[in-house]
């Protein structure tokens, strides 16, 4: 189960993140998870939203460079060792983590870990064999 994620490239200057979130809000697009990585000159905003194609369109219409990638969402108990257990499974499979971010759902019982792996299909296979729950975009958006 791969989840579509949008990546927005933005200048590292005051107000750009506020502009993006306002555009999404004005277009009734809900952000379910996000990550920001930056350098001195630019940043990459990674988002999981409820309306992927609409988000891409409205952001491009407003002058932003937008890409789409696929990630894997793994649900784990929100307790000590949750992330470590997932990473041990991936380590045993010899799969590299390109990046990750996480969020806790509103019940506080589980955390959702968002991963981009070097070998996505193999990662899903190994995680499922390891007993981990892989979530769809629809499941993430319903949390």
Q: Domain containing 28 — which CATH number?
A: 3.30.2130.10
Any idea what the CATH number is for the domain that residue 81 is in? Answer: 3.30.70.260
Whole domain around residue 82: which residue ranges? 71-142
What is the number of domains present in the chain? 2
Q: What is the mean pLDDT of the chain?
A: 92
If asked whether residues 113 and 84 sit together in one domain, one would say yes
pLDDT at 92: 96
User: Does position 34 have pLDDT exceeding 90, yes or no?
Assistant: yes
CA 74 to centroid of chain Cα atoms: 11
Burial of 122 (0-12, 13-18, 19+ CB in 10 A): middle
Which of 68, 90, 112 marks a domain boundary? Answer: 68
pLDDT confidence tier of residue 108, bands split at 50, 70 and 90: low
pLDDT at 47: 95
If asked whether residues 80 and 107 sit together in one domain, one would say yes
If asked whether residues 57 and 79 sit together in one domain, one would say no
pLDDT at 11: 84
Which span out of 34-43, 56-65, 103-112 was modeled with the highest average pLDDT? 56-65
With contact defined as beta carbons under 8 Å apart, do 27 and 92 qualify?
no
Q: What is the mean predicted confidence (pLDDT) over 82-95?
A: 96
Q: What is the mean predicted confidence (pLDDT) over 96-114?
A: 84
Beta bridge partners of 49: 31
If asked whether residues 60 and 92 sit together in one domain, one would say no
User: Does position 106 have pLDDT exceeding 80, yes or no?
Assistant: no
Burial of 15 (0-12, 13-18, 19+ CB in 10 A): exposed
């Amino acid at each position: 189960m791969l989840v579509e994620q949008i990546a927005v490239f933005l200048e590292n200057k005051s107000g750009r993140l506020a502009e993006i979130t306002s555009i999404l809000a004005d277009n009734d697009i809900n952000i379910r998870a996000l990550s920001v990585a930056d350098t001195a000159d630019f940043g990459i905003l990674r988002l999981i939203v409820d309306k992927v194609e609409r988000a891409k369109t409205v952001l491009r219409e407003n002058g932003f460079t937008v890409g789409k990638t696929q990630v894997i969402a793994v649900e784990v108990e929100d307790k000590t060792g949750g992330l470590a257990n997932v990473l041990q499974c991936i380590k045993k499979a010899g799969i590299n983590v390109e990046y990750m971010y996480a969020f806790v759902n509103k019940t506080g019982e589980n955390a959702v870990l968002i991963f981009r792996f070097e070998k996505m299909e193999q990662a899903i296979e190994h995680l499922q064999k390891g007993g981990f729950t892989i979530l769809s975009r629809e499941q993430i958006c319903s949390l």
